[in-house]
Amino acid sequence: MASEELQGGDLHNQAPPPAPIPLPPYPEMILAAIEALNEENGSNKSSISKHIAKHIEATYGPIPPAHSALLNHHLNKMKSSGQLQFLKNNYLVPDPNAPPRRGRGRPPKPKAALPAGAPVLPPRPRGRPPKSHDPTAPPPPPKSAITAPSLSGRKRGRPPKAAAAGGAAAVDEAVAPNPPPAAGGAPPRGRGRPPKVKPVVTASLGA
């Protein structure tokens, strides 16, 4: 009984395990990994992931299960915000002293500075400006719906089709079957190639 009480007292007197050290933010670890790798053309995602995983295991303990997802999320976020540059599948920290990249298209022309007190004109609208009209000139005559006759005398448009009677006769002639052969004449030739004539073989009888 005494030993059991001692064991129970030892269990109650044991200190709780220390809480895990929280990880630093992923953007901070990504920048530290790129700086530590110090590659000339930047570091790819695999090198950054291995360096961060090795640092976490050596300092903070086991790697979190969502390490790859967190790394992808923060790399994309830092790339879109301008904290990282993505060039030839590598991530690198932008140089603050580098000139800004030129955008696409022709750069705008520099505008001349207006003198002090000059009126500011409104911007010109898009498209061709309308023609100037004389306010004292009479209005143009309205356009008539009657079209002028053509010079050749023919009416405009496609000519009408032939009469119904003539069209029906032409159709009947085209559809009519071949006429029957005349009496005593050769029968009409059928369609396709005529069959070959087979020679008649006569058997010779022996004496």
Return the SS3 of 6: helix
Helix boundaries (H) for 63-122: 67-81
For 204, the token pair is 């010779």
pLDDT along the chain (207 residues), means of 10: 51 62 86 90 92 89 89 92 89 79 77 77 81 77 66 74 56 53 64 79 54
Q: Minimal CA–CA distance to 98: which of 110, 112, 87? A: 87
Cα separation, 33 vs 192, in Å, equals 86
Cα separation, 28 vs 32, in Å, equals 6
Return the SS3 of 91: strand
The whole-number pLDDT of residue 69 equals: 92
Task: State the pTM of this model.
Answer: 0.41
Burial class (CB in 10 A: 0-12, 13-18, 19+), 34: buried
CB 33 within 8 A of CB 55: yes
The whole-number pLDDT of residue 40 equals: 86
Instruction: Compute CA 121 distance to the chain's CA centroid, rounded to the nearest angstrom.
Output: 41
The whole-number pLDDT of residue 207 equals: 43
The whole-number pLDDT of residue 191 equals: 80
For 118, the token pair is 């000059």
The whole-number pLDDT of residue 62 equals: 86
CB 27 within 8 A of CB 73: no
